[in-house]
Structure 1
């Protein structure tokens, strides 16, 4: 049981770090880089990214962070708390669920609207499509980046308490 708890906690920390880093990369590099680009470039690039990101490696990190954090929490609860790691585990789980809610309620609908705009060369007003997408998407991404970073930090804390 101890090995399973520790393995779940390590897997949760790694996958949370991957997701946090992905969102951070968009916050500090991808979206600032696109900010200086033309409207058609931004729309087309984000349309392509939104298709490319739907792959097994992304899902392993994104869903793995939820599953492994929940598993680590459940195993620590079953063992009676696990030397103080329970509080940061609960915090990490809550922070990540909130990040997933932001993703599901803001980022995914914006991605879907961008896809529904159609091929960029057929969009009559790519500036309007960009304005409807970029600002809200960036703000939501910053929020989920902060939430995932908090969750990652809490998982690191839980690892330190566990060890």
Structure 2
């Protein structure tokens, strides 16, 4: 099935970015809407719990493993630009590394860290929660689109790499 390690790594990256896209899609389309419907104190407490619970080896293996694979694929694409799949490998890598990892680190994690410090019972919790949901979800849409774009790019690279 696989023509070599690069082909296998591309396949794994397509799967990893697809799993991440699905997770982000779920949060963008219904999880955050459901949490926003809760009373603010309950929504805050639930999201605080989610943000702690998600840091698990299984999630980190897919999330960060795909980043490492993307980095390797991006470097490989630059080193063998003449290959028909190089442009899609580089595009998929850039989308994942910048649009998923970069956006997560620059926009979603800081919001999560700020939310972790909020006492759900404090007086201004409702306004903090409304701002959190709005801003976090907007950046999650970006991550969703980037992960989906990376998945498509890696699939196209697989297709071209077989020719």
- The TM-score normalised by the length of structure 2 is 0.89
Q: 1:74 matched to which residue of 2?
A: 75
Q: 2:114 matched to which residue of 1?
A: 113
- CA shift, 1:76, in A, is 4.7
Which sections of structure 2, spanning at least 5 residues, go unmatched?
A: none
Quote the Cα distance in structure 1 between the aligned partners of 2:47 and 2:88. Answer: 35
Q: 2:84 matched to which residue of 1?
A: 84
Quote the Cα distance in structure 1 between the aligned partners of 2:98 and 2:77. Answer: 21
Q: 2:54 matched to which residue of 1?
A: 53
Sort the Cα spacing of 1:82 and 1:13 in 2 relative to 1 into closer, same or farther, 3 A. Answer: farther
- CA shift, 1:41, in A, is 1.7
- Tell me if 1:150 matches 2:149: yes
Q: 1:93 matched to which residue of 2?
A: 93
Which sections of structure 1, spanning at least 5 residues, go unmatched?
A: none
Sort the Cα spacing of 1:76 and 1:20 in 2 relative to 1 into closer, same or farther, 3 A. Answer: same
Quote the Cα distance in structure 2 between the aligned partners of 1:62 and 1:22. Answer: 10
Sort the Cα spacing of 1:154 and 1:91 in 2 relative to 1 into closer, same or farther, 3 A. Answer: same
Name whichever of 151-160 and 2-11 sits farther off: 2-11
Quote the Cα distance in structure 2 between the aligned partners of 1:82 and 1:37. Answer: 53
Q: 1:128 matched to which residue of 2?
A: 127
Q: 1:140 matched to which residue of 2?
A: 139
Sort the Cα spacing of 1:82 and 1:18 in 2 relative to 1 into closer, same or farther, 3 A. Answer: farther
- The TM-score normalised by the length of structure 1 is 0.89
Quote the Cα distance in structure 1 between the aligned partners of 2:78 and 2:161. Answer: 13
Sort the Cα spacing of 1:89 and 1:154 in 2 relative to 1 into closer, same or farther, 3 A. Answer: same
Given that 1:43 and 1:129 are in contact with CA atoms closer than 8 Å, whether structure 2 keeps it comes out as no
